[in-house]
Structure 1
Amino acid sequence: MIYCGIDWAERTHDVALVDSTGKLLAKRHIADDAAGYQLLIDLLAEHGDTEEDPIPIAIETSRGLLVAVLRQGKRRVFAINPMAAARYRDRHSVSRKKSDPGDALVLANILRTDMHAHRPLPNDSELARAIAVLARAQQDAVWNRQQMANQLRSLLREYYPAALDAFAGWANGLCRPEARALLKLAPTPAGAARLSRTQIRAALKRAGRKRGIEIDTDRLREALRTESAHQPQLVEEALGKQMLALLLQLEAACTAADDLAEAVEEAFPQHPDADVILSFPGLGVQLGARVLAEIGDDHLRFADARGLKAYAGSSPITRASGKKSSITRRRIKNDRLNHAGYLWTFAALTGSPGAKAHYRRRREEHGDWHAAALRNLFNRMLGQLYHCLQEGELFDEHVAFPVSLAAAA
């Protein structure tokens, strides 16, 4: 049996091959380009790599062109956590010496000794990988949009509180196109006080408003003319220019989030598992795509539902030593899936009577806090999702949350 370890870097990579006894068979230093990839493939072929019996490879990343090249065919690629690799390195040397060729050798020996304890990269379909790229990018764009909106809100509080009061009644506030159009038209309180009804009405129409324009025009004009404290004139104008710069970044973030959301809505329904995922209460296209992006469509990835729950961080973890024992929530988890689970279960409270009853029972009978009760509900619904994906069944409220005989009576 031959094992391969690759120490990944930005421009070059170190490769090491060992046999089942730990003997170093070959080592190479390759570039991160097509020629380097071909050199790696040729090196593996020289040591018995075939399409039917490929050599397993350990590497410290799960992304990039090199990983894409290696994942072709039936080859198993193991993404080893760099922290875990550092712990393995200390098994063979107490001097804490480190080198890139040595790290490649360590990765190869990890597979040689403990391959059964590590999980290879899932065999997801090309469509599932594409959905994962779009869903994660859309999630990042939403987070970036919120961060820019928070920065803009903080700046407006310093010199332009009337704008915040004017937009407070709108959902998403500063992220709405109407708010951005008005701020672009009047970047300072002095400019806002001079706005006419015609200018405000035209700004709302440019932002896409079709209804309620007259009512909002009067309300906005009155709110923007409210008397408040002012910065000195030169300082106010400088803050207005800073606000316009932040506004450009916010507009770019809003456009990116909307465009990526449209791409997700186009790609996700094409997946075979989309119908099963969308049948669950609280899961729409965007949130369902995020769930699929993290769990993938390789139904053999997790041996049972417990593995998926641990991966998502919904199941608790027990730490015991001697007479002491504690049960706490997991901190090492898939943060994206865990975040999606919080939104999923929170939305499911209004869409599923059984989910709401389960949440209330955790709050009232067990004394859980809000986040703990949602995490417990996420743990249960994640197990139901695993079963439905394995069996190809849609969500059934009566099966997922059966009513007891006493309650039915």
Structure 2
Amino acid sequence: MTIYCGIDWAEGHHDVALADDSGKPAARLRIDDTLAGYQQLLELLAEHGDSEASPIPVAIETGRGLLVAFLRQGKRQVYALNPMSVARYRDRHSVSRKKSDPGDALVLANILRTDADMHRPMANDSELAQSVAVLARAQQDATWNRQQLTNQLRSLLRDYYPAALEAVSAWQNGLCRPEARAILAAAPTPGKAAAMNRKRLSTALKRAGRIRGIEAEAERWLAIFQRPQARHLKLVEDALGQQTVGLLRQLDAACRTVDELAVATEKAFRQHPDAEVMLSFPGLGVQLGARILAEIGDDRSRFDDARGLKAYAGAAPITRASGKHHYVGRRRVKNNRLHDAGFLWAFSALTAPGGANAHYRRRRARGDFHAAALRNLFNRMLGQLHHCLQTRTLFDETAAFPMPLLAVA
């Protein structure tokens, strides 16, 4: 008799259900989210024939957490199912719309019994690839958090301190630069900015780590601060300055976090054997390469062909046809992190002349918009990346983007 396991995950406890070949429950158990609870689960599975040679497959609605990491040890296949998909399966067996945690666990077990081949088990990535995934996603989240804080600070300065925005507009990354944060911390209001002198501005720039052009930058900031400008009432302006100082402290911490995670991500990514292949592609640097590796992993059996990878990334178009209606458009259900990294990759590949740039311009000449042309370029380069990773070969410009025969002649 074949046994299938389903686990309904919750924050404090987990409901376990085992189903036999007929779909009837063979056992039920509620465990705590502790090591003792995990051991109880293994004992229950062992009582029903679980062994190292033939482990019982497990279906669960999440792909993260200690329970999932505990179950993935060894050869066990763990299926992380989408909760929306599980809800559709629940309606197959009951029209009363009843729902319970033990019932959901049984539904998960029955999904494996009937449609295991229609779902993909979790990838068997290496330990190094999983660590790169943790660091790359954390660095990406920290970057998004830094941008959110920057937008909040920019919006606040626009309301009462437009001279500061004018001063940082000449710098790339503007408010994220340490020089800008150091000067704003010393002069968070227009009143304090008007009292600044060249020496104090130079000191703030040196404290932020600037080495060259200190006197010229101090002179530029001083000229902007000394211009007449509209101001709020003094107490209101001081209150807004206190709010700015608070946002600056958060932005300082966010910038340090992004830099530290970037260093850790680069160190882990360069140790991976796939790094050499990925860095050979145009427009693909260390941080983008780490983000892409974090999402596709290094399990070569995860995607049967390049089409599966393209669909997973949202680069391949999707067709909706019904009767006379036929629509081909972009895919909305996708890995958003990989899709975001792919657009950055395609855009970066345009900075250098070559096959990627020519392909983009050819798509634009055919009538594609900018986003559609980038998505098409990402779709093509993703297929090339899949081939190079499978064959362990570096990127070849002439093979990836062959010249037309007419141009060769």
**Shared fold, TM over 0.5:** yes
**Structure 1 residues 288 and 352: CA distance shift in structure 2, 3 A:** farther
Is 1:384 matched up with 2:407? no
Does structure 2 conserve the Cα–Cα contact (< 8 Å) formed by 1:352 and 1:397? Answer: no
Matched residue SS, 2:92: coil
Deviation, structure 1 residue 223:
1.2
Deviation, structure 1 residue 252:
1.0
**Structure 1 residues 362 and 196: CA distance shift in structure 2, 3 A:** same
Deviation, structure 1 residue 28:
0.1
Deviation, structure 1 residue 23:
1.9
Q: Deviations over 1:149-197 (max 9, x none)?
A: 0000000000000000001011100000000000100110010111111
Deviation, structure 1 residue 351:
3.0
Gaps of 5+ in 1: none
Is 1:283 matched up with 2:305? no
Q: For 1:353 and 1:24, locate their aligned partners in 2 and report how far apart those are by CA, in whole Å.
A: 60
Deviation, structure 1 residue 352:
4.9
1:326-365 aligned within 5 A: 326-365=327-366
Q: For 2:51 and 2:273, locate their aligned partners in 1 and report how far apart those are by CA, in whole Å.
A: 31
Residue 200 of structure 1 aligns to which amino acid in structure 2? L
How many percent of aligned residue pairs carry the same amino acid?
A: 69
Match of 1:403 in 2: 403
Q: Deviations over 1:263-298 (max 9, x none)?
A: 011110000100000000011110000000000000
Q: For 2:376 and 2:258, locate their aligned partners in 1 and report how far apart those are by CA, in whole Å.
A: 30
Matched residue SS, 2:158: helix
Q: For 1:165 and 1:300, locate their aligned partners in 2 and report how far apart those are by CA, in whole Å.
A: 53
Residue 389 of structure 1 aligns to which amino acid in structure 2? L
Match of 1:371 in 2: 371
Deviation, structure 1 residue 20:
1.6
Is 1:292 matched up with 2:293? yes
Aligned-residue Cα RMSD (Å) equals 0.7
Question: Structure 1 residue runs of 4+, over 4 Å off?
Answer: none
Matched residue SS, 2:350: helix
Q: For 2:363 and 2:54, locate their aligned partners in 1 and report how far apart those are by CA, in whole Å.
A: 50
Is 1:66 matched up with 2:67? yes
Match of 2:42 in 1: 41
Matched residue SS, 1:169: coil
Q: For 1:252 and 1:97, locate their aligned partners in 2 and report how far apart those are by CA, in whole Å.
A: 48
Deviation, structure 1 residue 228:
1.3
Q: For 2:169 and 2:157, locate their aligned partners in 1 and report how far apart those are by CA, in whole Å.
A: 13
Match of 1:215 in 2: 216
Deviation, structure 1 residue 214:
1.1
Residue 395 of structure 2 aligns to which amino acid in structure 1? F
Q: For 1:392 and 1:260, locate their aligned partners in 2 and report how far apart those are by CA, in whole Å.
A: 28
Residue 39 of structure 1 aligns to which amino acid in structure 2? Q
Deviation, structure 1 residue 95:
1.3
Residue 381 of structure 1 aligns to which amino acid in structure 2? M
Matched residue SS, 1:382: helix
Q: For 2:215 and 2:21, locate their aligned partners in 1 and report how far apart those are by CA, in whole Å.
A: 78
Deviates most, 378-387 or 242-251:
242-251
Residue 146 of structure 1 aligns to which amino acid in structure 2? Q
Residue 375 of structure 1 aligns to which amino acid in structure 2? R
Match of 1:179 in 2: 180
Residue 395 of structure 1 aligns to which amino acid in structure 2? F
Q: For 1:135 and 1:290, locate their aligned partners in 2 and report how far apart those are by CA, in whole Å.
A: 5
1:6-155 aligned within 5 A: 6-155=7-156
1:217-296 aligned within 5 A: 217-296=218-297
Residue 93 of structure 1 aligns to which amino acid in structure 2? S
Q: Deviations over 1:234-289 (max 9, x none)?
A: 10000000111111111111111011001011110000100000000011110000
Deviation, structure 1 residue 408:
2.2
When normalised by structure 1's length, the TM-score is 0.99
Gaps of 5+ in 2: none
Q: Deviations over 1:116-144 (max 9, x none)?
A: 00000000000000000000000000000
Does structure 2 conserve the Cα–Cα contact (< 8 Å) formed by 1:281 and 1:352? Answer: no
Q: For 1:242 and 1:344, locate their aligned partners in 2 and report how far apart those are by CA, in whole Å.
A: 37
Residue 256 of structure 1 aligns to which amino acid in structure 2? T
Q: Deviations over 1:357-387 (max 9, x none)?
A: 100010012x000000000000000000000
Deviates most, 399-408 or 291-300:
399-408
Matched residue SS, 1:350: coil
Q: For 1:67 and 1:371, locate their aligned partners in 2 and report how far apart those are by CA, in whole Å.
A: 37
Q: For 1:34 and 1:226, locate their aligned partners in 2 and report how far apart those are by CA, in whole Å.
A: 66
Residue 405 of structure 1 aligns to which amino acid in structure 2? L
Residue 249 of structure 2 aligns to which amino acid in structure 1? L
Q: For 2:334 and 2:149, locate their aligned partners in 1 and report how far apart those are by CA, in whole Å.
A: 27
Matched residue SS, 2:27: strand
Residue 303 of structure 2 aligns to which amino acid in structure 1? F
Q: For 1:121 and 1:295, locate their aligned partners in 2 and report how far apart those are by CA, in whole Å.
A: 12
